[in-house]
Amino acid sequence: MFVATLTFIVLAISVALYVYVERFSKILKHSGKLGGPRAYPLIGNGLLFAGKTPAGRLIQQYGKCFRLWLGTQMLIVITEPKDIEVLLSSNKYIDKSIEYDFIRPWLGEGLLTSTGRKWHTHRKVITPTFHFKILEQFVEIFDQQSN
């Protein structure tokens, strides 16, 4: 029984490592052309964020588009407003990151967690609610509640 359990554990760890290495190699392949600071295993570039904000230094050193690693999660940093506008105004790039998988069971498939056509439909319904004229009516309430 012990041998079977040990074999199962070793097999499960091996499969998990294989899946992780496959995913990681795809990420590295696609991000290889981007510059960025050296990342360390498990913590990535997390040490850069201890203490002072390194944003200006990183932009100066690596340009207006570079990659950062926070743990095992790769982030693409884009600082050029026109590039950011292209990404934010596109319906093609609205997939949610893996972090949303943790809150989806509690929040369900709403505006915050949905993607694609479902997100677009929810967004169309809620957008008029945030029109300037409507929000203007709540300024006094916001002021009272913030004190």
CA atoms within 13 A on the CB side of 30: 8
Stronger pLDDT, 142 or 49, i.e. the higher one: 142
Q: SS3 breakdown of the chain: % helix, strand, coil, rounded to 5?
A: 60, 10, 30
R_g of the chain, CA atoms, integer Å: 22
Cβ–Cβ < 8 Å for 77, 45: no
Q: What rounded mean pLDDT belongs to the chain?
A: 81
Per-residue pLDDT reduced to its tens digit, 5-26: 888 888 888 888 888 778 777 7
Stronger pLDDT, 130 or 31, i.e. the higher one: 130
Stronger pLDDT, 42 or 141, i.e. the higher one: 141
Query: How large is the average pLDDT for residues 72-96?
Result: 82
Q: How confident is the model at residue 93 (pLDDT cuts 50, 70, 90)?
A: low
* Tokens coding 136: 């203007």
* Tokens coding 47: 């040490």
Q: Kindly state the helix (H) or strand (E) to which residue 40 belongs, with its residue range.
A: none
Per-residue pLDDT reduced to its tens digit, 21-71: 787 777 777 777 777 777 777 777 777 766 666 777 788 888 888 888 878
Report which DSSP code applies to 132.
H
pLDDT value of position 16: 85
Query: How large is the average pLDDT for residues 122-138?
Result: 86
User: CA 27, 25, 61 angle in degrees (round to 5)?
Assistant: 50
Cβ–Cβ < 8 Å for 36, 62: yes
Report which DSSP code applies to 103.
H
pLDDT value of position 51: 62
Closest CA to 111 of 99, 94, 98: 94
